[in-house]
Amino acid sequence: MNATLPNDLLPTKVDPSDEKAVLALFEGLALSAGRAAMDIFAAGFIHETKADASPVTEADRAAERVILEGLRIALAGVTCVAEEEVAAGVVPVLEGDAILLIDPLDGTREFINRQKDFTVNIALVRNGSPEMGVVYAPARSVLYSGRSGEATEVSISRDFLPAARRKISVRSAAKPLTIVASRSHRTPETDEFIARFEGAEIVSVGSSLKFCLLASGAADLYPRFGRTMEWDTAAGDAILRAAGGMTRTTDGRPLRYGKRGQRDEADFANPWFIADASPAATDQRLR
């Protein structure tokens, strides 16, 4: 399937400093990419294994083509770092203070297993911090977006159009906490951390939806003591920060993006981190 944007949907150039226009661009491209992925989901597909042993499908590639085509027209000159291009050896030179991070289908294992937790992710990072992001879960008909202190949840119609929009924000830490964890990538270290919180409710969710549960006030902590890449987290992290939360490394520093030349680690790989919905949740985890 050679998914591309129809000519009437090709975006015009957007000023990268215009947050509303950039976020509208992200939302439109995510919806188009999600539609391409859902067409493949419905028609049936096979999956392959990449060099890093992770799975990939035609839906990953089709969604990425749609997103990159639109971004490279509308935000020409802003570097795109996209999962499948990087996997194919296309690693861009980072120029300027802004980059775009794209995961066209986060939760490919969920997609393959015909679960609904897969997402389309687009983020703008500036000076190492995620400023704007969109996470779209097409099988759940919901999209989350965030920019500069404003996060929203958007219901999506069967025609892949926005139907209703509401503002979201993190909640004060619940007692006991609700902790979200990966459905496909739990590690002993993650389980050991979770065990510190007696009585905590554990919710297993795939993909970047874990960040969105925190951002929408449905959960308090998301610990990830396992490998992730920047495109896995940037969009969800941007939404969480816009909603009032934060993602920190295990030494308490905000998670940074655009990491190259790391000692003993690949470009764009993340360290372990904990996403917090509120300072109170942070306080509880540090006791």
Beta bridge partners of 169: none
Distance between CA atoms of residues 42 and 133, nearest Å: 27
Map residue 179 onto helix, strand or coil: strand
Distance between CA atoms of residues 253 and 75, nearest Å: 30
On whether the CB atoms of residues 89 and 32 are closer than 8 A, the answer is no
Please name the amino acid found at residue 10: L
Find out whether the peptide bond into 92 is cis, omega within 30 degrees of 0.
Answer: no
Helix axes 19-43, 58-74, angle to 10 degrees: 160
Distance between CA atoms of residues 207 and 232, nearest Å: 8
Binding residues for substrate: 83, 105-108, 232
Binding residues for Mg(2+): 83, 103, 105-106, 232
Binding residues: 83, 103, 105-108, 232
